[in-house]
Amino acid sequence: MSNDPSLVGNGDLGEVVRHMVADVLMVPIERVDPDSRLVADLGAESIDFLDLIFRLETHLGTNIPPDRWGEFVEERLPGADLTTKITTSIVHEFATREADRESGNP
């Protein structure tokens, strides 16, 4: 089974994000759940977050300024050890915020 998020279609954004994480980090989808820590558990590196943002842009059909992810992380996880605190659910939260921004919801 492919981890290709395009196969998920326009369904649940959480599932789309889950597939994106699996695809970008080249891990089986079964290893990715909401509490998976992208760096500590799945081996993400900084370049992987750029890839995730690019894929979110493509999926949402919008432009996400490069610094928006960093601002979100600083706001959402101030002072946290990001190697253990950035989880799939955090990426999903960011994706939801961006989708809401695109649709005009605050």
pLDDT digits (tens, 9 = 90+) for 63-87: 999 899 999 999 999 999 999 999 9
Where exactly are the structural domains of the chain? 5-103
- CA–CA gap between residue 76 and residue 89 (Å, rounded): 12
* 99 token code pair: 């989708």
CATH superfamily of 5-103: ACP-like (1.10.1200.10)
pLDDT digits (tens, 9 = 90+) for 21-59: 999 999 999 999 999 999 999 999 999 999 999 999 999
Contact 24, 48 (CB under 8 A): yes
Q: Residue 97: how many CB atoms within 10 A of its CB?
A: 15
Residue 10 identity: N
Tally of residues, the chain: 106
